[in-house]
Amino acid sequence: MSPSSVILFMILVAPLILLLIVALFWKKVRTILLVLAIVVASVETYYVMYKQESSLQEWYEHEDIVNAYLEKTYPEDDWVIRYATRSAFSSAGVEVVFIDELEVAYLYIVEDGDVNLVGYSSKEGYENPKRSQ
């Protein structure tokens, strides 16, 4: 067995085997474990759903603020806004790609209502983005 197979077995299969053994021999413990599993799964599901909804709500608010900022700063330009999945700065980072500069993706974050350009990424060989200041 490869090391990854052993790890997968320990994480996924071993707990199931342990629960089956307990369920076969101790009926009272089986009921307690089942109730405990349902409670833990419910709490985890609620937490994950709440956390995701909270994060998306924050991003939508930041998207509106960044969009208003861009309309004021670059009134003649067109752009596309997308969720910044690789942002190390903020989970609500807003990535902007301007139509006249498709080679560059700018990353904006909102802090205390202020919009800040925190960086950009571009295709290899593309230098001096127009809006990098």
Least confident of 44-53, 66-75, 104-113: 44-53
Q: Rounded to whole angstroms, how far apart are CA atoms 28 and 17?
A: 18
pTM of the model: 0.60
DSSP character string of 39-76:
HHHHHHHHHHHHHHHHHHHHHHHHHHHHHHHHHHH-TT
Of the pLDDT bands very low, low, confident and very high (cuts 50, 70, 90), residue 122 is confident
User: How far apart, in Å, do the first and last CA atoms of the chain sit?
Assistant: 55
Alpha helix positions (H), 1-133: 3-8, 14-25, 27-73
Residues in the chain: 133
